[in-house]
Amino acid sequence: MGTSKSYHIQGKKGSLFRDQLRGVDLEKVLIVSIDAAKLHQKALICNYFGDVIEKPFFFSVNTDGISYLCSKINNAITNNDAQRIFLGVEATGHYYEDIVRELGYKGFGVKIFNAYTTFEERASALNWCKTDDIDLVALAHCIKNNKGTEFTLAEGIQRQLLTFTRVRRQEIRKRSSLQMEIRVLMDHIWREFQGYAVQEGNKRKKVKVFSDFWGKSSLFFMSHFPHPSYILELGEVGLLRLSKEHNLKLRKSTIEKLLYVANQALSRSLAELRPELVVLKTKLEDLERVNKNIRSFGQEIETLLLQTEGKLLLSTRGIGVVTAAELYSEIGDISQYENPGQIIKKAGTNPIMKQSGGGKGYFGRISKQGNPHLRYIIYNLGRCLSMHNKDLQPFVARLKEKGKHARKVFIALGNKFIKIAFAMLRDKRPFISKVTPYEILEEINKKLSYNCLISTTNTSHKTLSAA
């Protein structure tokens, strides 16, 4: 019984690899495995049967080093009359990126291999040692068995967006950490500054001194008057004067609460608290710098996003500029995907199928294999859309009726939106909702802080596409 040549056990990846090898003398197929590192890169050249053409050699990631590597590859091609050549590199941190990029400029396509793939290859040979040469051999076997992925490095605006969004997320995490440290310091210096409890009937209620602990007024007092003795010295008159001079807009109730907690404070003396006060000042300066970075990155992200098709994602209620930019930059060129399931699998939010013995099978937990940045974004997307997007809330309600946990609901909704986003980016259309094109543009414009898409009220579908 014959089989279709269009079908392969490895799917599309296997079909492409098969077509490259079919009818070719395997003696004339070369394999180049590259072990990337910070300083000491190493490469091995062999043929399809494992005969070593060029023993493992070191090269540098600079102009001379890449030229040396290419000369070795070209000599092997010439001396062996090679008809096909396959190059592979292990994805080690970010060190492999320059190698892949430069070899691409030279006309060589390089496949990317997960470090866990080479680990499993070593383990399958019952070899528990790990050296550069053993890694090169394991990688050569992986190339021969077509275990790599077709991968293109981010370029142009996508690369810039990827850099800004990831760095901004790091700054957000720094800010969260700093805010927690500042709260702890203020507990040591002046506990009630963050709020105090009052009795209302049979219940205890928390009263905040400032409506926003991280607002302008609160930060001003933490920076300049963090100890209750300063507030008592200023008094009501002094606080009113500061409010006018620095445009703090303190309400009378806020001043009263501030004076109350200052009178009731059990704080130690300024001399005893000197270490905490010095550290607090430093942390507040760090917080100001981090906030400035976040605003700066946000402006760059918004400007770049509006130059891409990713701006269409802003037509979806519940998705802001940063989330849209993160999703668009992590997905990359939509034309490299045949269906949205590939994006979901890339994120590792695809449920694992369990089936055996002819049974029906079931879907278990998500795989968590793939891009952790994209996985985080999909979860965050689901959380935001479940709260703010009325068009998708019926889907959320159905899952909750089935007793699904909130985290599972967020992942499921995030995966659903990936399918919607795939169609939006592929067809270059905004989110389909029962609103006019002008209302969609208005929705996008509300989310922009530094740019503007709407200049007139005379808007059409053509204008929306051009925007």
CATH number of 11-144: 3.30.420.40
Q: Where are the domains of the chain?
A: 11-144, 177-288, 308-354+362-466
pLDDT at 466: 46
Residue 192 tokens, joined = 């009630």
For 257, residues 6+ apart whose C-beta sits below 8 A from its C-beta are 207, 209
Taking a C-beta distance cutoff of 8 angstroms, is the pair 30, 45 a contact?
yes
pLDDT at 442: 84
CA distances from 147 to 55, 189, 349, 443 (A): 23, 58, 21, 44
At which residue do the structure tokens 């995490």 appear? 173
Residues linked to residue 43 through DSSP beta bridges, in sequence order: 34, 57
Residue 416 tokens, joined = 């659903």
In the chain, the N- to C-terminal Cα span, in Å, equals 56
Q: How many Å apart are CA 336 and CA 112, to the nearest integer?
A: 16
User: What is the edge-to-edge ordering of all strands in the sheet holding 41-47?
Assistant: 52-59, 41-47, 29-35, 84-90, 110-113
The DSSP letter of residue 149 is B
Q: How many Å apart are CA 169 and CA 330, to the nearest integer?
A: 13
pLDDT (tens, 9 = 90+) of the chain, 467 residues, equals 344 556 777 777 788 888 888 889 999 999 999 999 998 899 999 999 999 999 999 999 999 999 999 999 999 999 999 999 999 998 888 899 999 999 999 999 899 988 888 888 888 887 778 888 999 999 999 999 998 876 678 889 999 999 999 999 999 999 999 999 999 999 999 999 999 998 888 888 999 999 999 999 999 999 999 999 999 999 999 999 999 999 999 999 999 999 999 999 998 999 999 999 999 999 999 999 999 999 999 999 999 999 999 999 999 999 999 999 999 999 998 988 989 999 999 999 998 887 777 777 777 788 888 889 999 999 999 999 999 999 999 999 999 999 999 999 999 999 999 999 999 999 999 987 667 778 778 888 888 888 877 543 343 444 444 44
pLDDT at 1: 37
pLDDT at 14: 82
At which residue do the structure tokens 């890449």 appear? 66
Taking a C-beta distance cutoff of 8 angstroms, is the pair 59, 135 a contact?
no
pLDDT at 150: 64
H helix intervals, 145-251: 156-189, 216-224, 228-245
pLDDT at 89: 94
pLDDT at 433: 66
CA dihedral 108, 109, 111, 112 (to 10 degrees): 80
